[in-house]
A = this chain, B = another copy of it.
Amino acid sequence: MSHPISKQAPISARALEIEPFRVMDILAQARALEAQGRDIVHMEIGEPDFPTPAPIIAAGIAALKAGYTHYTPALGLPQLREAIAAFYATRYGVTISPSRVVVTPGSSGALLLTLAVLLNPGDEVLLTDPGYPCNRHFARIIEGRAVAMPVTAATQYQPTAEMIAAHWSARTRAAMVATPSNPTGTLLTLDQLRPIHQAVSSRGGALVVDEIYHGLTYGRPAETALALGDDVFVINSFSKYFGMTGWRLGWLIAPEAYVDAVDRLAQNIFLAASTPAQHAALAAFHPDTLAILEARREAFQLRRDFLLPALRALGFDMPITPEGAFYLYAGCERFGLDAEQLTQVLLNQAGVAITPGADFGRFESSSHVRFAYTTTQDRMEQGVERLATFLKT
């Protein structure tokens, strides 16, 4: 760094320890190459290329014209909480009281609130490795401890009840799973979730289920962990399936007994989620919007169906077929470079941006990379051609 912090200036251990998103470094490097005139195929970004659907944009514009720019209650706009609860009934056949719905500034807000109400300093939360990198940092910021459960293709990169049991300690308070998962794109069925839930709750812990990529599944629909019982924390988002990344809007379904604590924390640390975004999101469940989203889901499925065999043909190791999200987690051992080096040479020499495994944990991360199929078929084809040319030389 060009501006070191002076020795006597205060800085917290967490500020020194929290790692950057490597994908952000890759993206910044890619943009710098583009500024020099290079063409880069972006398969690093965990953000759909699709814009926010027109009915949601229209609702946002209407909200601004109507002057909906004041604070909402900390738990969210009552009609949006009701709409989210109603969505669980129509899509999943699960009845949720709107009182359990907490609208948050992105699912990031939901993750922070959830861990903050569950963990004291030194308390542990079980996470998969590989997994969403921010989760361990949310634990870190509140002085909790993230404990990694290494997962492999043998269990579809998902944890089992046995793994929960093996990693549970006297300090464990919660376990967090993701379905579909980032970076692996795999799902947990209700039948797989049930023993995990049982393993967690029989030990007096809380199960937190990240359902942020729900809706983006190819083959079978995702099942919600809310069907397991009313003691599960479920986190979801308007970012991915609903195409509202930049609006920063998500939600948490909390067990009823925790809502008061979540409300007090949210009042203090966020005040509330964005009001225009909440009004816009009221259009997210409209049939016209859902029809657009379904067409996009089909487009993502076609992209997966192109990219998965294409990468396998190039020699990337993908023993399972991911059924959700928009990621392919690929072994890259046969190319003779570690994942960080491979990512760098592919960016600089082949003009293809992907993410090294180190963003998602430490377990076997140096032999894995993540491809995101968040760009068009044409661009993916260009990317695959460049990879083919480069990797065969």
A interface residue numbers (CB < 8 A to B): 1, 3-6, 8-16, 18-21, 24, 47, 51-52, 57, 60-61, 64-65, 67-74, 105-106, 108, 112, 116-121, 123, 133-134, 137-138, 141-143, 173-174, 204-206, 231, 243-248, 255-265, 267-277
Contact = CB atoms under 8 A, between A and B. Distances in A.
Given A9-B231, A69-B244, A268-B134, A121 B123 contact: no
Given A70-B246, A268-B21, A57 B64 contact: yes
A255 to B, nearest CB: 8
Contacts of A73: 24
Oligomer: number of copies:
2
A274 B257 contact: no
Contacts of A15: 116-118, 258, 261-262, 264-265
Contacts of A118: 10-12, 15
B69 A265 contact: no
A133 to B, nearest CB: 7
Nearest to A105: B105
Contacts of A106: 270-271
A3 B256 contact: yes
Contacts of A134: 268-269
Contact of A269 (B47, B119, B138, B258): B138
A203 to B, nearest CB: 9
B142 A141 contact: yes
Nearest to A52: B69
B121 A143 contact: yes
Contacts of A51: 67, 69-70
Nearest to A8: B204
B68 A246 contact: yes
A1 B260 CA distance: 8
